Amino acid sequence: MPEKTKNLYFSKTPLRRLMKQAGAGPVSEDAIQSLITQLEKRGREITQVAIKIADHAGRKTVTANDIALAMDYVEQHGKK
């Protein structure tokens, strides 16, 4: 069972709506919390890689392109 934590970044109602739009029927609180936990974890991983990409390019500002590249990298290789 996912750990119970305060949702700092995501609200349950929009995520429940997103899950229903994706085709889910009734959605349990545990399912929503699990999705929140995974989104936060993946968001941190992608951001950490994007920061490395921006730093390598000599920038302090993370751009949308850095995020896109980081998403591709994390998807293919996992966080490094």
Is the separation of the CB atoms in 50 and 80 below 8 Å?
Answer: no
Is the separation of the CB atoms in 69 and 41 below 8 Å?
Answer: no
pLDDT by residue (tens digit) across 33-79?
999 999 999 999 999 999 999 999 999 999 999 999 999 999 999 76
pLDDT confidence band for 8 (50 / 70 / 90): confident
Q: What is the DSSP string of 1-51?
A: -------SS--HHHHHHHHHHTT-SS--HHHHHHHHHHHHHHHHHHHHHHH
Domains in the chain (CATH in brackets) are 12-77 (1.10.20.10)
pLDDT confidence band for 5 (50 / 70 / 90): low
